[in-house]
Structure 1
């Protein structure tokens, strides 16, 4: 089967143009080297994103022009937002898989293979030869996500700090501590917003009624998110399930105190405040707008249904890597 390679690059992930040029040069050098070494020809195309989600259109059009029985590997070169767009671009396409080359502020999904392996995902030689492993995804409405879908406080924080992120975009991409500082300040602000932390949700999870007032809901396909956090530590991207964690509505100060244990995956120590379920499908609605965040893409909605799609996409895993299990369900 003929093989093609489509590279989607988010230029905003490279504050220094020199670094972007190095990445492009490495791609070109690899395929030039294949030709010089008399290896089978494999065509490639590089697309540099011009506006949000334009990669979805590019991927679809590129696939339409390929001959039948052609395998396509799409490379996401950027952060989680770029991977989100590439995933939504390839869904439903035949003979297509996804390689993630992390160069963004947050590179959450590849951390599921272990933080010590991130450099391997940036290696063009390893990525082009890597075998794709079946991976679950989250289907929510018209969108698909690799890592998580959060509703409530966390999503409200992400939406609230968007103006700061835009204003200080260049500097925050160079210094991760600035992103963390923004999130902390945003969390303090939202924790005292009663409309958010006391919002009532009608929830049906695999037939179980979990309706009630919650500060936040986290529906996870993997444990890693938020640059270096591991909140739903029991989640694994290839087990055919989603792990859902709910934080009950409690006082603002108690919420802030629970953020530390929550972000470290220590929710099992506080059963009074947290509800954990392993699910296939959950439907959520509320009389007030839902603050939603899917893999870093934030938006509002009135109701949402999240469902796992087992083994829906093949993710390139360099050097035969596999997803790490960080905790058993009972831990």
Structure 2
């Protein structure tokens, strides 16, 4: 790291069920000691705008570090795209899909060494009318699952997304999807439970919805879950969750 480098850490205090703030404050002294340049630590509280703060700080600091989960990373990325700032990531969320997909360890000490070593990687970003995204963008069951996971009564990442997924499955209905590309025109038109564009492999920290996705290959993948019975969909989802649990044991 250069002596001319400066660092702004944006810590989302609500990440990982509000455990991120205390976790990071215990390690702030270490970071101040290890970093050669000027550093600022901003603890994001309810009502604060990560997007606006990161956009402002990107004009002042050479490095903007997103400390939180995927939502934090995505808002920081949207703020600094088009600036000269470099984005860093210290994963503190419950899913941390983007962090996993760029090769971080989800271990503070190991990830800190990656950061201090100034190890960089370029990634693709996908632009939509709602802004940029780095990992996945889904509608239907997929989007509703992410929405419910943010309001889950469970703190543990696995249970949080399992509960959210089940709720989304029971409350969703198939919808009409029309997919067109500039080169070949209409490639799909019909009913589906879910449509997602994937730049990364996983969602919810462990659910591989697009195993072949690589977030720096200049390509994106389209995932469609076509219309089947709701009971079949719930069965497959529970089977997937149990397979992940058994694999983890």
TM-score, with structure 2 as normaliser: 0.82
Q: Which has the larger radius of gyration?
A: 1
1:62 aligns with 2:57: yes
1:205 aligns with 2:181: yes
In structure 2, the CA distance between the partners of 1:16 and 1:156, relative to structure 1 (3 Å rule), is closer
| 1:91 aligned residue | 81
In structure 2, the CA distance between the partners of 1:23 and 1:16, relative to structure 1 (3 Å rule), is same
Work out the CA distance in 1 between the residues paired with 2:21 and 2:144.
Answer: 33
1:30 aligns with 2:30: no
1:49 aligns with 2:51: no
| 1:4 aligned residue | 6
Residue 148 (structure 1) shift: 0.3
Asked if 1 retains the 8 angstrom alpha-carbon contact of 2:141 and 2:165, the reply is no
Work out the CA distance in 2 between the residues paired with 1:243 and 1:121.
Answer: 33
Structure 2 alignment gaps of length 5 or more:
243-249
Asked if 1 retains the 8 angstrom alpha-carbon contact of 2:14 and 2:45, the reply is no
2:227 maps to which of 249, 252, 267: 249
**Secondary structure, counterpart of 2:164 in structure 1:** helix
1:185 aligns with 2:166: yes
| 1:103 aligned residue | 92
Residue 240 (structure 1) shift: 0.1
**Secondary structure, counterpart of 1:211 in structure 2:** strand
Residues 47-70 of structure 1: CA deviation (Å, up to 9, x unaligned): 111246612212222233x3xxxx
Identify which of structures 1 and 2 has the higher relative contact order when contacts are C-alpha pairs closer than 8 Å and 6+ apart.
1
Asked if 2 retains the 8 angstrom alpha-carbon contact of 1:101 and 1:121, the reply is no
Residue 118 (structure 1) shift: 2.6
2:207 maps to which of 226, 229, 253: 229
Work out the CA distance in 2 between the residues paired with 1:133 and 1:51.
Answer: 31
**Secondary structure, counterpart of 2:26 in structure 1:** helix
Residue 143 (structure 1) shift: 1.2
In structure 2, the CA distance between the partners of 1:72 and 1:121, relative to structure 1 (3 Å rule), is farther
TM-score, with structure 1 as normaliser: 0.64
2:196 maps to which of 188, 211, 218: 218
Residue 18 (structure 1) shift: 4.1
1:79 maps to which of 56, 69, 72: 69
Which structure shows the bigger proportion of residues in strand conformation? Answer: 1
Residue 262 (structure 1) shift: 7.4
**Secondary structure, counterpart of 1:74 in structure 2:** strand
Work out the CA distance in 2 between the residues paired with 1:228 and 1:59.
Answer: 28
